[in-house]
């Protein structure tokens, strides 16, 4: 449905072993995200095989890439429209491979949010005008 907070968008990340190997399961359907030998993302009832295990790689830009444990060099990737890309056509530096973890809507982090404060921020006339802009008659 491509809506934030949709029941089918909620994923459960299970650790496979100690370290950064994980299995990803849909909360609503119970299917695991797996990759077949052609690099296509598929869903399976049981996520026991290596094709359903992904290695989390934290990148320099603080994003996470998910590399398949069975097919080295193949990553989980989605296009801008949300369609899955074939793993055989993915590389670590591609934008479609970069993911960011976030909590579901309504959940709080362990640290409460603080209000952002400006400290000695140099405003000029243009920045003041754009921040306090009001429609002119």
Domain borders along the chain are: 7-107
What pTM did the predictor assign? 0.70
pLDDT above 90 for 132? no
Which pLDDT does position 53 carry in this prediction? 93
Selected residue with higher pLDDT from 55 and 103: 55
CATH for 7-107 is: 2.80.10.50
Helix (H, G, I), strand (E, B) or coil at 123: coil
Q: Which residues contact 4 (CB under 8 A, 6 or more apart)?
A: 105
How confident is the prediction for the chain on average, in pLDDT? 79
| Beta-bridge mates of residue 34 | 42
User: If you compute the radius of gyration of the chain from its CA atoms, what whole number of angstroms results?
Assistant: 20
């Amino acid at each position: 449905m491509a809506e934030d907070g949709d029941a089918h968008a909620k994923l459960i990340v299970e650790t496979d072993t100690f370290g950064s190997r994980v299995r990803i399961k849909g909360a609503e359907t119970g299917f695991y995200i797996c990759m077949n030998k052609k690099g296509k993302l598929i869903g399976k009832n049981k996520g026991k095989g290596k094709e359903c295990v992904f290695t989390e790689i934290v990148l320099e830009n603080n994003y996470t890439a998910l590399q398949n444990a069975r097919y080295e060099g193949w990553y989980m990737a989605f296009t801008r429209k949300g369609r899955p890309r074939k793993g055989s056509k993915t590389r670590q530096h591609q934008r479609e491979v970069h993911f960011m973890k976030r909590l579901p809507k309504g959940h709080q982090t362990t640290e409460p949010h603080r209000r952002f404060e400006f400290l000695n921020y140099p405003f000029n006339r243009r920045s003041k005008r754009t921040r306090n802009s009001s429609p002119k008659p």
